[in-house]
A and B are shown apart, each in its own frame.
Chain A
Amino acid sequence: MPLSKPQHLELYYWMQLNRKLEDALTILFRQNKVVGGLYSSLGQEAISVGSAYALEKRDWMAPMIRNHGALLVKGFKPRDIAMQYMARKGSPTGGKEGTSHFGDLSDRHVVSPISMLGDLIPVMTGVGLAARYLGRDEVAMTWIGDGGSSTGAFHEGLNFAAVQRAPLVLILENNLWAYSTPTYLQAGLKDFADRAKAYGIPGVTIDGNDVLAVYEATRAAVERARRGDGPTLIETKSFRRKGHAQHDPANYVPDWMRKEWEAKDPILRFEKYLTDKKLWTEKEKNEILARIDRELKDELAAAEASPLPQPEEAALGVYCEGGCHEIRATWKRSPDEVKPPRHEVADWFVEHKPALLPTASVNGARSAKREKEPVAVAGNPGHGKKKPARKKK
């Protein structure tokens, strides 16, 4: 279904909020109020925003370091991100962590990244598998860079997701630079979407500076995952316009390349699109920009008002104990209705060779009597009677 006019304006709002928040964070960095590094997504806002916008509220995502826009779309406030960078007590992690390294399992369904690249891919595969087992009809999405796609975790995770047909969407942000390393030193591929071929899953390459293209490709992949057809790899081509982090002037990037990509700015491009298609008026645009300025002023004031954490809090929270969290799986339907991919060998054994299937190890050797029992109840003695035997077709 095509996006409505208000949805177009929402996309614009999120992209501009993403950029203006990062501009504000840069000022805080220069004022020494940011602790540690500051990571920019300048020029890549369309990827974060367009992909996250394709998720339903119940879907799961795990951002990478530059996906501030995705965190905003998924319901976090600018103050959350600002407090993370300023290491304040009021941040989602209470100062235990910085940057985009935070999440929310109960409400926004966001999993925190870690610095080791690729690790989120198997983790989000597990999120998708659990959602399927619980009958929750929820899709998991995460991002990786051109550099991160060289890790073993990327391969192990995407391969496992493919075999399990997990409801996973992986956005590969090809921004041409992994710190100072160009893409041709990461892989001998022109299109990183070709990595998908190794796993037998669809890989698509799109223009990462076109927010509508990102949205549409992600939406299609999300729907495919929700249908049970498995993971998709989406390569979004873009360019990292700042350094790896704020400290890095990125003088290894040729001037011509920077110029070329500045001309392809995703926000300016979308502004032109909205104007050409008559989807907004100058007044509406100014209202959005004024709203962002207003909101950011309040959000950053709230962030700056938060104190630093108390030193002694460092010692707390290593373990989940004393009832700090209730752990409960929420079932949306009977697990029997949810089918994992076929396991032909197992099916064949159950159907045709029950006697060859391993019987329960407990109490040792299988008896002749046990071998005649239906395989469905073969298990540790004392438990076989609890469930009725599965009927043979």
Chain B
Amino acid sequence: MATLTYLQAIGRGLWEEMERDPAVVMLGEDIGVYGGAFKVTDGFLPHFGRQRVIDTPISETAIIGAAVGMSYLGLRPVAELQFIDFIACCFNQITNFVAKSHYRWGAPVPMVIRGPAGGGVHGGPFHSANPEMYFVHTPGLKVVYPSTAYDAKGLIKAAVRDNNPVLFFEHKFLYRRIKEELPEDDYIVPLGKAAVRREGRDLTLVSYAAMAHTCLEAAEKLEKEDGISCEVVDLRTLLPLDRETLLASLKKTNKMLVVHEDTRTGGIAGEIAAIVMEDAFDDLDGPVLRVTSLDTPVPFSPPLEEFFLPNVEKVAKAARDLARY
């Protein structure tokens, strides 16, 4: 057992996969000598060599494009985007080339695109984004966004082994703030499976990534202060979405509040609300509510960003309203 941070867990997962399978290669900006902007790939270059750890020019389209080409010969490339905000620079390669490849002409693209996402670290409009929904809306991709070190390691390993393109969002607020003891064995966390983080009776809080922790804190507070018993579901994978776990929890609590750090309009809360309406309307004892970031770019200054983001107070307030409904 070793105690690893969320960031180290990702690094360890990648390391193990590269040790296990010589077809796993990685490419990205500053991932080699420097070890990555956040040091996820620290130490990889001297160990695995320049053929497997490729420092690239500042060319996101070339990074993703080259990774696709590599995957066509059976390699399993892991492409790092230095900040996930820059995924916009290779949006075309991902949504048109990568995502449609298998459907259009039967060419699988077993690759992982990973990078630091999310706010709360005063990164401003270009280093804090949560662009997951562009890709959740793109058939052919899988989208993963872990909240714990255990999951981060197990999910990155599952992503590398998957035969489909997987977008692996890493929440940079969690990188060094959470750590846990991880087993030494070669475990994976399957894609497409949500986790029930806390059992409860009165309502279900649904979230993922950093906001899963916010929900757990809120649940604690609500239990203590209001006697409201919250179940907390951590989605872990956004595409494919684990509808079974969501609906099973709703069946139990009959009320659902979705919390996400992504902006409000077009966020996954809307999709979840629609699924509940279609498949479990009779189980509802109240409206599906949502607590999200504002529909603005991510502002820079700390008070602005705090106002922009969901927090425990905002979640608790919405949960109280829903519990009373």
Binding site for B on A (CB under 8 A): 92-93, 96-97, 101-103, 105, 111-112, 114-116, 119-134, 136, 140, 152-153, 156-157, 159-160, 163-164, 317-321, 324-325, 327-331, 335, 338-340, 343, 345-346, 349-350, 357-364, 375-383, 386-387
- Taking a contact as CB atoms under 8 Å apart, the answer to whether A116 and B96 are in contact is yes
Closest 4 A/B residue pairs (Cβ): A126-B69, A122-B65, A126-B66, A329-B74
Give the shortest distance, in Å, between B221 (CB) and chain A (any CB).
32
- Taking a contact as CB atoms under 8 Å apart, the answer to whether B103 and A156 are in contact is no
- Taking a contact as CB atoms under 8 Å apart, the answer to whether B66 and A123 are in contact is yes
- Taking a contact as CB atoms under 8 Å apart, the answer to whether B42 and A359 are in contact is yes
- Taking a contact as CB atoms under 8 Å apart, the answer to whether B73 and A382 are in contact is no
B33-63 contacts to A, CB under 8 A, are 33-35, 39-40, 42-47, 50-52, 54-57, 59-63
B92-125 contacts to A, CB under 8 A, are 92-93, 96-97, 100-108, 110
- Taking a contact as CB atoms under 8 Å apart, the answer to whether A156 and B57 are in contact is yes
- Taking a contact as CB atoms under 8 Å apart, the answer to whether A325 and B108 are in contact is yes
B179-211 contacts to A, CB under 8 A, are 184
User: Once the chains are docked, how many angstroms separate the CA of A361 from the CA of B43?
Assistant: 7
Give the shortest distance, in Å, between A370 (CB) and chain B (any CB).
10
- Taking a contact as CB atoms under 8 Å apart, the answer to whether B57 and A159 are in contact is yes
User: Once the chains are docked, how many angstroms separate the CA of A362 from the CA of B39?
Assistant: 10
B32 at interface by CB-CB < 8 Å: yes
User: Once the chains are docked, how many angstroms separate the CA of A111 from the CA of B106?
Assistant: 11
Q: Given that A93-B105, A320-B164, A382-B2 are known contacts, is A122 also in contact with B47, CB under 8 Å in the complex?
A: no
B302 at interface by CB-CB < 8 Å: no
- Taking a contact as CB atoms under 8 Å apart, the answer to whether A317 and B43 are in contact is no
Q: Given that A105-B72, A114-B97, A380-B15 are known contacts, is A362 also in contact with B66, CB under 8 Å in the complex?
A: no
User: Once the chains are docked, how many angstroms separate the CA of A375 from the CA of B92?
Assistant: 39
Q: Which residues of B contact A114 (CB under 8 A)?
A: 96-97, 100
User: Once the chains are docked, how many angstroms separate the CA of A125 from the CA of B73?
Assistant: 12
Q: Which residues of B contact A111 (CB under 8 A)?
A: 69, 72, 107
Interface hit among B19-27, B247-255, B285-293? B19-27
Q: Which residues of B contact A364 (CB under 8 A)?
A: 8
Give the shortest distance, in Å, between B321 (CB) and chain A (any CB).
39
- Taking a contact as CB atoms under 8 Å apart, the answer to whether B70 and A330 are in contact is no
Q: Which of B32, B63, B104 contacts A346 (CB 8 A)?
A: B32
User: Once the chains are docked, how many angstroms separate the CA of A295 from the CA of B104?
Assistant: 28
B64 at interface by CB-CB < 8 Å: yes
Q: Which residues of B contact A360 (CB under 8 A)?
A: 11, 42-43
- Taking a contact as CB atoms under 8 Å apart, the answer to whether B50 and A122 are in contact is no
User: Once the chains are docked, how many angstroms separate the CA of A63 from the CA of B295?
Assistant: 43
Q: Which of B34, B44, B55 contacts A343 (CB 8 A)?
A: B55
Q: Which of A115, A157, A164 contacts B65 (CB 8 A)?
A: A157
Q: Which residues of A contact B54 (CB under 8 A)?
A: 129, 164, 340
Q: Which residues of A contact B108 (CB under 8 A)?
A: 320, 324-325, 327
B127 at interface by CB-CB < 8 Å: no
Q: CB-nearest residue of chain A relative to B24?
A: A329
Q: Which residues of B contact A129 (CB under 8 A)?
A: 54, 66, 69-70
Give the shortest distance, in Å, between A354 (CB) and chain B (any CB).
8
16 A-B pairs (CB sep. < 8 Å): A96-B103, A97-B105, A119-B93, A122-B65, A122-B68, A123-B69, A126-B68, A156-B61, A318-B102, A318-B103, A321-B164, A346-B46, A350-B46, A361-B43, A363-B4, A383-B15
Q: Which of A134, A319, A361 contacts B140 (CB 8 A)?
A: A319
User: Once the chains are docked, how many angstroms separate the CA of A125 from the CA of B16?
Assistant: 27
User: Once the chains are docked, how many angstroms separate the CA of A159 from the CA of B62?
Assistant: 9
User: Once the chains are docked, how many angstroms separate the CA of A329 from the CA of B22?
Assistant: 9
- Taking a contact as CB atoms under 8 Å apart, the answer to whether A362 and B11 are in contact is yes
Q: Which residues of B contact A335 (CB under 8 A)?
A: 22, 51
Q: Which residues of B contact A379 (CB under 8 A)?
A: 15, 43-44, 46-47
- Taking a contact as CB atoms under 8 Å apart, the answer to whether A92 and B105 are in contact is yes
B163 at interface by CB-CB < 8 Å: yes
B139 at interface by CB-CB < 8 Å: yes
Q: Which of B2, B61, B96, B107 contacts A105 (CB 8 A)?
A: B107
Of the candidates A120, A127, A156, the one having the most CB atoms from chain B within 10 angstroms of its own CB is A156
Q: CB-nearest residue of chain A relative to B9?
A: A362
Q: Which residues of B contact A124 (CB under 8 A)?
A: 69
